[in-house]
Structure formats: structure tokens, C-alpha cells
Amino acid sequence: MSEAAWAILAENDRGGYTVPTAHLYPFQWNWDSAFVAIGFATYDIDRAYRELERLAEGQWDDGMIPHIIFHAPSDTYFPGPEVWGTRHRIPTSGITQPPVFGMALRQVHEAASAAGRPDAVERTRKLFQNALRSHRWWLRARDPEGTGLVSILHPWESGSDNSPAWDEALKRVPTSTKTTIRRKDTGHVDAAMRPRDEDYQRFIHLVDVYRECEWDPARQWEAAPFKIADVQMTGILARSTADLLILAQSLSSPEERGELERMHQVLTEGLARRWRQDLSRFVSRDLVSHRDVEAPTQACFIPLVALTLDDQQRRAIRSEIKRWLDGMVVGVPSTAPFSPAFEPKRYWRGPVWAVVNWLISDGLRMNGSEDLAREIEQGTVQAIERAGFCEYFDPTTGEGLGGGTFSWTAAAYLVLSQ
Ligand code: 2M8
């Protein structure tokens, strides 16, 4: 099966960067590419570096790494560069995605060093600076009040676009748009597995608002009708910061190390405060309504990748995850099966995602749950072996859904089947 995974990554290669899958997602996506780089690091280190280097080409002068880099034109995706109207040298979207970049850089560097590659230090050092500038952007632009939690201003930034976690907040966003919506996704994939039209209207309303702010982070922060201090994003940022700190021991100055240490402390403290013992989960915070986001989604478990939990928390999380796995053919569902919002086939409202399982099992292992981590990893590998390298899986049947020949599913397979 590894050969099949390599073949998918080769097929989705567009010249040093990998599209998530042909037609449905014909550009370079931020967190997809970071996971793909980790996959490449298992067998082609040069290509792993290239993936991150090509992603870094899209980095804005203010440090943000956009969620889509439009390296080459394609008319099979909406919204394309003309809708975003950003002004980077290479056309990009105007929002970002989870910063898996730092995690990936550490993995790639370690693989390169183990292989004794002479170019490892120089290539990692350059990418380290890209990562550092992006982390500075995160704290400046997305936590201007210094709370230790970074916010998303658009559901697309979370990576889990139509998650029930955003339902309440998204309801307040108008459905009116200045941009004409021409969805392409439902031409590639069954509409029942995708976000609804109303979701798209709100997604595009938000793009219109931020484009009118000329993509200026301070103006966007003020104007944002959707603003959520997100535990998944903060968890990934904190973990990437920890990984950069490890690289910084040999590759960076004492000043930069100190800066990363401070970032790490602020983020892990912010994250730790989001634990809710009564729910056995971490919860995000809606900064518009000032309410906790209690919807049970995969995001609640992602802080495990960044925090060392106490015994009581570990026990609570273990039994909560087991409750979500109960009766499922494959876990972990992206929405708890006992939630009224659970839809096993609709995108981020229930299906299982290989990269999410990768993060959750990594976090469980860090927190002493090796057995549960292995169970989730093996379940993921088996689901892929049965159904193929699909975008996501129905947890109640194991059926493969969404786009086929998916890059990050191939990368997850390579890493989790090791
Ligand atoms: C999905 O998101 C894009 C928008 O970014 C879309 O639906 O058009 C999400 O699953 C996201 O997490 C992922 O990065 C992207 C490409 O695989 O597709």
C-alpha cells in the first residue's frame, strides 16, 4: 500500500508542491502541504523540503502564510484569486490555516539530519525564519490582547469548515454577498457530503468583509462578525512553537530562543485555561457572544498535542474519546455521535479525517495513552486499506467519502503505518 501512497503524491505533484486532490482542490493548501511534507520525509527528503519551500513562497510580508497559494491558474475551484483580491506577488487567499508548518519542519529536519544530508542545516534555517515570522504574525494579528489564545476570523481558517462548532457564531453572519457565488465543489462531489449553500453564502460574506478591509489585520480584527479563540488552532500553534524551540537549540540565536519560550508559555497557559472538567474537553471561546463553544467536535482534543495533562484530565479525556468511539466502525468522528449535530457523511460534521486522527493519537501518546493512540492509528490505517485514500470516512460504516486520491490521506498512511 505504501507504493499506492507514493503514487498519489506523485500524481498530485504540480512542480514541488502537492495539490490536495486533482479538480476539487487544484492549488497548494497550507496545512495539507505541511502534513504532506511529513509524509515525504519518510522517503524523499528533498521533496519534503521543496513542499515547505513552495508554501513559504506564498508568505506575506507581514508574516501570514495564506491558506491557499494559487501558483498556477485553474477554473475548477471557487473562490479563486479574483474573489480574494489580495496583492501578494503570487496570488493567494487572504486568510490562513492551522500552522502545522513548524511541526513539519522539525520532522523534515530530523529526517534530513538522520540521513546525513549536507543541505539540512541551511534549508532548515531558512524555513525556520519563515515559521518564526508566521508565529509572530499569529500572536500580533490574532491575539492582540495577549490572552494566550489565537482566533480564527473565518471557518475556512480552522480547516474544519462547516463544523458544528461554528454553527452559533455563523448564524449571526448575514447570507448576503457582493460576490456572485459559483460553487464548483458540488460538481466534483455529492452535495450531501459538502457544506450547504447557506454556509457558502456566509463564508463568502466574510470574504467580502475582509476584502473591504484590504486584508489589513487590525481592520479585520475590528470588523470581524465571526471571531473565535480556537483551541484547535492554538493547540497546533503551541505545538509548532515547541517544535521550533527544539530546532532553535542548534539553529537560532539566544534572543529568538527566548522569544519562542515566551510565546510557548503564553500559548500553553492560555490553552490550559480552556479545560472544562464538566465536559471532559477543551472548549473554544466565541469572542463576539462571549460564550464558550460547547459543541463536541474533534477540536476539543487537539490541545493534547501541546499540553501535559494532569492525571484527572488524562482519565477524563480517555473515557470521553472512548465514548465517541463506541459503536463506530472507524473513529475518531469529527463530531460526537451522541450530538444532535452529528451527520456521518457531511464533511466536518461527523466523518473521520486521517490527519485529525494523526494529531489526536500523537497527543494521546504524549499524554501516556499509548494503547488508545495505537488503536486510533491502526483503525485509520485499516480504513484506508479498505476504502482507499479518500478525503474522509463515514465513521458508522467505514465508507470512503469526498474526493479520492487525497494527498494528506496518503501522507497520513505513510506515517501511521510505519
Ligand atoms: C477543505 O477546505 C476548503 C477551503 O479551504 C474547501 O472546502 O474548499 C477543508 O477540509 C480543509 O481543511 C482542507 O485544507 C482543504 C483542502 O484539503 O479542503
User: What is the reported pLDDT for 349?
Assistant: 97
State the cell numbers at 31: 496545512
Q: What DSSP line would sit under 49-77, residue for residue? A: HHHHHHHHTT--TTS--BSEE--S--SSS
Q: Contact, 193 vs 346, CB < 8 A?
A: yes
Give the Cα separation of 355 and 169 in Å (integer): 25
So what's the pLDDT on residue 18?
98
Q: Give the number of the atom of ligand 1 that is nearest the alpha carbon of residue 159.
A: 12
Q: Residue 68: which H helix or E strand, with range?
A: strand 68-69
Vertex 186: Cα angle to 207 and 329 (nearest 5): 105
The residues annotated with a catalytic role in the active site are 161, 391
Q: Which CATH architecture has domain 2-14+114-416?
A: Alpha/alpha barrel (1.50)
What's the pTM value of the predicted model, to 2 decimals?
Answer: 0.98
Assess whether the C-beta atom of 32 lies below 6 angstroms from ligand 1: yes
| DSSP code at position 192 | G
Q: In this predicted structure, what is the pLDDT of residue 192?
A: 86
Ligand 1 site, residue 20, Cβ cutoff 6 A: yes
- Ligand 1 pocket, 31 CB below 6 A? yes
pLDDT tens for the chain, 418 residues: list them.
999 999 999 999 999 999 999 999 999 999 999 999 999 999 999 999 999 999 999 999 999 999 999 999 999 999 999 999 998 999 999 999 999 999 999 999 999 999 999 999 999 999 999 999 999 999 999 999 999 999 999 999 999 999 999 999 999 999 999 999 999 999 998 988 888 999 999 999 999 999 999 999 999 999 999 999 999 999 999 999 999 999 999 999 999 999 999 999 999 999 999 999 999 999 999 999 999 999 999 999 999 999 999 999 999 999 999 999 999 999 999 999 999 999 999 999 999 999 999 999 999 999 999 999 999 999 999 999 999 999 999 999 999 999 999 999 999 999 999 9
Query: Ligand 1, atom 7: nearest CA belongs to which residue?
Result: 161
Nearest CA to ligand 1 atom 12: 159
Rounded to 5 degrees, φ, ψ at 369 are: -110, 60
Whether 51 is in the pocket of ligand 1, judged by its Cβ within 6 Å, is: no
| CA 389 to centroid of ligand 1, rounded, Å | 16
- Residue 194 pLDDT: 87
C-alpha cell at 402: 469526498
Q: Cα of 189 to ligand 1 centre, how many Å?
A: 13
Is the CB–ligand 1 distance for residue 342 below 6 Å?
A: no
**pLDDT score at 339:** 98
Query: Ligand 1: does its nearest atom lie under 6 Å from the Cβ of 203?
Result: no
Amino acid making up residue 30? N
Query: Relative to the CA of 185, which ligand 1 atom is closest?
Result: 8
